[in-house]
Structure 1
């Protein structure tokens, strides 16, 4: 029989301290980590909207497969069903259960939820190149509109100056406004009622398409013939006077 340890000896006491102390420290450290983790998890839940928390918990629950503890699933197992098999006699039916889609907004049936709507709209991305093309097109449209307005002003000025110079007809038909040319045509011949509206529409489209090009030609005619500048709004005494006081031949020069 071995000699029993002396419970009052230093060796026995030191042995007990070595066995117990590390275990206590370890368990306290683990408990502290658990408490910190739980606190952080609770903080995250507090900061999340209720709908988000509900959706996360619902999805978490739906992603967990049923086991034999579920009475319905246990009944299926007794009938011969095994997890992973398809339903039906030939086992060719659905394997996964029917997906549950809960309605989370107040819109009518068939309407997209805000999240899906945002997702679908975010899928359509506009590249930098398409943005530049759009801006160029808008700038071009604005420039064409300004050219059309200037051309119509130029036509009126040309008609006035030609009339003062006792001209009965313009050098080119489009030098004068359409309404003035229409008056001349009505005075010389009878109008064809069937084609008048179509002709006016065609003339309008042609005018808009060629306004920029014709503006250059008509302003040149007014300068060469009458020393007139559309943007200065006046006729100069002579060519020398024109070159001295007119800043340029285009709208941008003025």
Structure 2
């Protein structure tokens, strides 16, 4: 019991501390400003135009004003005090009617087009001509690209067809040799003799005529269709069951 009381005595030290007065709440030392925040300004200086650009801009503004005045003067009718109007009246012109004999001419004056470029009559604006040249160049490139693609496609198609003919020829030639009872050993001997001679034989070019000759021989002599892969019992069975002599017929 004495030990428990000693522990309680040492644990509760707040009883021996004097009461401390309550302090007022601390306020922030920073003062709140009602002024709007200052935004960062750019250090870049406005671009100044050189004398050539200033002169060009001034000339464009002056031309624009002149064009507006010209168009406004064109829309207004010619006064009767004009010397040209007086000359027309002396030649029989009546205001509001067409020019020419019996009023067969035009009633309205010929329209004008204000041109500021240095090109002669019939010449378009340089920027318009440049755009047209660019458009023609793009069209020409597209046409050339299309022609190249067509040429490439036809060349690949021709190459594929040639390989197909060669493959079918050698396949039919092998079947024909088997049906005729030819031995492949004899071909190998012939090949050895050619190698012994040392003469280079040019590679034979297989054509569609060569393939057709092999196919006809298989059908006429052995009633065999290469693309059906079958030897028929009779010519009548071959003609009635085989769709045709070519591979496309199958």
Same fold (TM over 0.5): no
In proportion to residue count, which structure has more helix?
A: 1
Higher relative contact order (CA 8 A, sep 6+): 1
> For the superposition of Structure 1 and Structure 2, which TM-score range results when normalised by the shorter chain?
0.3 to 0.5
* Alignment TM-score, normalising by the size of structure 2: 0.40
What TM-score does the superposition give when structure 1 sets the normalisation length?
0.39
